Structure formats: C-alpha cells, structure tokens
Amino acid sequence: MAGKKLEAKYLKLFIKLGDNKSPKIGIAVSSKVLRKATQRNRARRLVSAAIESLYLKLPNNINIIALPKAGVIKVKSGDVRLDLENVLKDEKIIN
C-alpha cells in the first residue's frame, strides 16, 4: 500500500500503515528550511511534544514521518498539537 502525504499548517506528514505492533514516528528537520541548529531543535521538540500527547490515540500499525515547516518555531506547542490533531481527525486516523 502506498502512503499518504498530508499538509498541515505547521507540518508535512507522510503516513503509511505497516505491520508494526506499536506506532512508529520519525521527525526530520531540514537545514534548508530552518538554518540554525537551535531552530531545528526547537521545531523537533515542539513536534515531538505534539505527537507524544496524541500517541495513545494512534493506531498500532501506523508509521509517521513529520517534517516541520519554517513557521513552527514562532508558535506555542499547543498550536502545533491542535494543528496535528485536526489533520489526523480529518483523515480519520484518530477519533
């Protein structure tokens, strides 16, 4: 099965179902999008916190790669979480 590419306000997500026993998550931050390491680290922390808060709602066989967009470092973690939650709900991945 081919994966899905989802666009959110602060994230780009690549989602694919696999045969894993628990959700697998990857966060990749490009140095082309965010030049400074401190910005990349902040983006990674924000996305990680957002995914962590929704982790238990995710189906067990899902694989997600999250790519933060440049605007993510200007917002609070709650905004990133809401953005992620809305996209996952729209795609019927979580309830």
pLDDT in the model for residue 1: 53
Total domains in the chain come to 1
**Does 57 reside within a domain?**
yes
**Does 66 reside within a domain?**
yes
The CATH number of the domain holding residue 22 is 3.30.230.10
Q: Which domain holds residue 64?
A: 4-90
What is the pTM (predicted TM-score) of this model?
0.90
Q: If you ran DSSP here, which 8-state letter would residue 3 be given? A: -
**Does 43 reside within a domain?**
yes
**Does 55 reside within a domain?**
yes
**Does 26 reside within a domain?**
yes
Nearest to 39 by CA among 64, 14, 70: 70
Q: Which residue matches tokens 């999008």?
A: 33
**Does 95 reside within a domain?**
no
Condensed to tens digits (0 to 9), the pLDDT of residues 24-50 reads 999 999 999 999 999 999 999 999 999
